Chain A
Amino acid sequence: MIVNKETIVQLASVQKRLDNRTLTEYRTPIVIETGISWTAEGSARVRIGDNIVIAGVKLSIEKPYNDTPDEGGIMVNAELLPLSNPEFETGPPGIKAVELARVVDRGIREAKAIDMKKLCIIPGEKAWFISIDIMTINDAGNLFDTAGLAALTALKSAHFPVVDESTGAIDYHQKTKVSLPLVKEPLPVTVYKINGSLLVDPTLEEERAYDARLTVTTDDSKTVSALQKGGTAPLTIDEVGRIVDLASEKAKFLREVLNKALR
């Protein structure tokens, strides 16, 4: 909507937004639920405002990669379901879905959030592999942060399934009490630059009006584990510094909401 785009751009320069939020405010409510899929080893439904994303974790036993014979693996897939936005089409994931999956994947992988060595069962032969699938239910803007939060929540809620000792087969109908070896809690926060101002948690319309965006994944110790810049406008080094500060502050806020919800 060009009218709204122009208004969004004008308002941003005076630190205002169409929905009267401050620039650094997330939408409400933020609702985090786990165990929404009994068939998954871990699952979560996250709602930020009208944004709704489901993530599910499946575990399987596979042969480790040759270069890391004593480690398991992780894979993130994202689907922008046509159910969630009239502009999404059926068919194989497009570039938006691929980018979303890769940004969430890198944030978890590079933070070494999962102790991959603890996923190994027999070196060179058997290890646990983790698949995280992110499914959008309603896209109201800011899928990066919502998907990252859903993925971390699903990982936190996951339990290993029972393995038959004699056959080595997984019994997916029974879960053990053992959680995944999750040692850090990385969360992506995307900061958008519109008309010189920096803001978080954009609506769909704000997403159409941005000049640049930077997704920053930080863990509990504020270490940065992944970056992804988007948009056509450049960013100054000073802006990157401010964005990282804002992102780690907001990641801390989301982590608190998450841990309160799971308590």
Chain B
Amino acid sequence: MSNVLVQERDIVIPGEILAEGMDYLPGENTYRKESAIYSKVLGLVSIPGRVIKITPLAGPYIPRVGDKIIGKVSDITLNGWRVDTGTAYSAFLNVKDATTRFIKKDEDLSEIIAIGDYVVVILVNVTSQNLIDLTMKEPGLHKISGGRIIHINSQKVPRVIGKQGSMISLIKEKTGCDITIGQNGHVWIKGTTNGEYLAERAIKLIQEKSHQDGLTERMQKFLEDKRV
């Protein structure tokens, strides 16, 4: 006889019991001990079918192949750039993955990308030790100039983007800003000063209220009231 002890979208803490019995399966961020399933993080309960999983409310960014992130160049080596990903793991951008143009043997790499510059890049390789290789050669990847960069918790990135990008489209439309969201939580906003400020506040508001219902309506109202 199995018994689910929590409901969809309940907030649970680490170690909290979610279900007893063997009818349910432990999903992401949960574990089974004997016949019970427990949460491993602070998060929201989700029960798609017979699986119980937890969506974290906070937590570190875990690097994954294919993710687009915004990183900050921390060092220049003989053959490329070391990029701070905002996590415990820095990444490497090789010269050949940075640009399609030919780079001469003794060219000054800091003329292309300097230390302190931000870059929009994609993770092409992540090892078990979290050694990361990057590319900047695909469309939409580039060095950043102008505007502002803000940081949000990476767990909130999906909410800021919204279903099929609906939330971020709404913010772009109402603030007139270009916005690029890195999966690591760095967000680049570029527009008028007032537009950037409004977009920053909107994104911070989503971060705070991401677990609440009716977020899109709320955001619609916030942006209408403050429209620039």
Contacts and interface: CB of A to CB of B under 8 A. Distances in A.
In the complex, is A directly touching B at CB under 8 Å?
A: yes
A174 interface: no
Contact of B193 (A1, A4, A6, A16): A16
A20 B197 contact: yes
Interface residues of A, number: 11
Interface in B180-206: 188, 193-194, 196-197
Given A18-B197, A19-B197, A20-B194, A7 B117 contact: no
Given A18-B197, A20-B197, A2 B148 contact: no
A6 B149 CA distance: 11
B128 interface: no
Interface residues of B, number: 15
B148 A18 contact: yes
Contacts of A19: 197
Contacts of B146: 3, 6-7
A4 B116 CA distance: 11
B38 interface: no
A11 interface: yes
Ranked 9 nearest A-B pairs via Cβ: A2-B116, A20-B197, A3-B149, A4-B148, A7-B148, A3-B118, A1-B149, A3-B144, A16-B193
Highest count of chain A CB atoms <10 Å: which of B118, B193, B196: B193
Interface in A1-46: 1-4, 6-7, 11, 16, 18-20
25 contacts: A1-B72, A1-B118, A1-B149, A2-B116, A2-B118, A3-B118, A3-B144, A3-B145, A3-B146, A3-B147, A3-B148, A4-B148, A4-B149, A6-B146, A7-B147, A7-B148, A11-B193, A16-B193, A18-B148, A18-B196, A18-B197, A19-B197, A20-B193, A20-B194, A20-B197
A215 B3 CA distance: 64
Interface of B: 72, 116-118, 144-149, 188, 193-194, 196-197
Contacts of A7: 146-148
Contacts of A3: 118, 144-149, 188
A1 B188 CA distance: 12
Chain B binding surface, main DSSP class: mixed
A2 B117 CA distance: 6
A52 B154 CA distance: 25
A20 B194 CA distance: 8
Contacts of A4: 148-149
Interface string A73-101: 00000000000000000000000000000
Contacts of B149: 1, 3-4
Nearest to A1: B149
A2 B188 CA distance: 12
Contacts of B147: 3, 7
Given A16-B193, A18-B148, 5 more contacts: A2-B116, A3-B146, A3-B148, A4-B148, A7-B146
Contacts of B145: 3
Nearest to B188: A3
Contacts of A16: 193
A69 to B, nearest CB: 56
Contacts of A11: 193
A188 to B, nearest CB: 29
Contacts of B72: 1
Nearest to A14: B193
A3 B196 CA distance: 13
A209 B148 CA distance: 14
Nearest to A18: B148
A248 to B, nearest CB: 30
Nearest to B186: A1
B117 to A, nearest CB: 6
Nearest to A19: B197
A1 B196 CA distance: 16
Interface in A118-166: none
A15 to B, nearest CB: 11
Nearest to B115: A2
A1 B72 CA distance: 8
